[in-house]
Every structure is written in structure tokens, then in C-alpha cells.
A and B are shown apart, each in its own frame.
Chain A
Amino acid sequence: QMKLQESGPGLVKPSETLSLTCTVSGGSISTYYYSWIRQSPGKGLEWIAYVFYTGTTKYNPSLEGRVTVSVDTARNQISLRVKSVTAADTAVYYCARGLYDDRPFDYWGQGTLVAVSS
């Protein structure tokens, strides 16, 4: 049974960079592609970006330029970086896997809360 586990700092200062890691266990990372999704009371669920095991990426246009996602197949990890954060980036961040059919988010990690505050 594949498991996705998000990790990273729970508190980031305004204008700094938010960095999170999603560790994939219990399965081959190359079988799926992976998205980062965040959820905040103000904006609901928002897709951030996805990455294939090949390194191919796609970003939400509303965040493109501030966000970078990458994959490390040797470590079975997917990474997210959001630069120049503000309070609006405070959210629970989820890693989710996608199948190459009608299920872009068929299984999610438990999520990690990131607060942006000085």
C-alpha cells in the first residue's frame, strides 16, 4: 500500500521561501504523477502543480513564477518550493498521486499545515 508523507517547517516568515517534501513509500514512484494541493479557509482547495517522474512539470498559472516542484527518484521524494510567501500562503499542503486516466488525485497524503507569520 503506497503511502505519501508530507514534511517541512510548520512556520515560515513573510518574504521567505516555503519548502516541503513528500516522501513516497510502498510503491514505485514512476507508476504515478504527483501534485501539490493546498487548502485554506479563504481559498478552499487549490491545485498548485504536478510533476512526472521524468521531471516534467505543470504549474497553476496563478502561482507560476513563485513555485517550483521537482522529483528525486533516487530518494522517492517530491519537493515543493514557494518563494516570497505572504499570509495568503498559509494553508494545509497536500501531496497527491495521480493515475494516467480520469483520476488525477486518487490518493492523498495526510497534509501538513504551514503558517506564514513573523
Chain B
Amino acid sequence: DIQMTQSPSSLAASVGDRVTITCQASQDISHHLNWFQQKPGKAPRLLVFGASNLETGVPSRFSGSGSGTHFTFTISSLQPEDFATYFCQQYDNLFTFGPGTRVDVK
């Protein structure tokens, strides 16, 4: 099965900062990678699908890139509502999630 890793596991940032999270797959998954945001007590919310496509209604400060085994998720200018945990998820062979990256207030 395909394993997903994320780095960092957590980070502290300020409003307005550029935030970058990386996700690595244990084998080539092409562009079959999605990104989710989860806030405490809430279900995950889909932000980016197909590695780089923004879901409808998601602000343009969020973006994703990459293919194969290495992927990047970026928040260009962190907003107060963006403090949350972010997960990557592959769908090339069944489905597996990364362990998450928690974005906290600096």
C-alpha cells in the first residue's frame, strides 16, 4: 500500500506569512493527490484536488503543485481563519492520508 508523509508535522506562523507544506508518497502517484483542511471538532474540507486544482469556493491564496512522489501545498498569505491542520491524501491506489501538518499561531 502507498504511504504518505508530510513535513513539517507542525509549524507556527503569523497572519500574512507564506506557509508551505510538503507531502511525499512512497511511490509514484501521478497527480492523484488532494489536500484537506480540518479545524478542531469539524470534518475535513477539500481544498485542492488533482494536485493543483482549487475546489470551488476555496480562496485563491491556497495552491498546490507537484506530481509523482513530491507535492507542495502553499498558503500565500496566512489569514486568521487558516489556523488548522492540513492533510494530503492519495487516490492513485485506494486511499491513504498523510499524518497532517498543524498550523499554529506564532
Contact = CB atoms under 8 A, between A and B. Distances in A.
Interface residues of A, number: 21
A23 B100 CA distance: 28
Contact of B100 (A44, A101, A106, A110): A44
B46 A105 contact: yes
Contact of B94 (A47, A102, A105): A47
Contacts of A35: 95
Interface in B29-50: 31-32, 34, 36, 42-46, 49-50
A108 B44 contact: yes
Given A44-B99, A102-B32, A60 B43 contact: no
Interface in A7-34: none
Given A58-B94, A111-B43, A105 B32 contact: no
A107 B89 CA distance: 14
A45 B94 contact: no
11 contacts: A45-B89, A47-B94, A47-B97, A61-B1, A94-B44, A102-B49, A103-B34, A104-B95, A105-B89, A108-B44, A110-B42
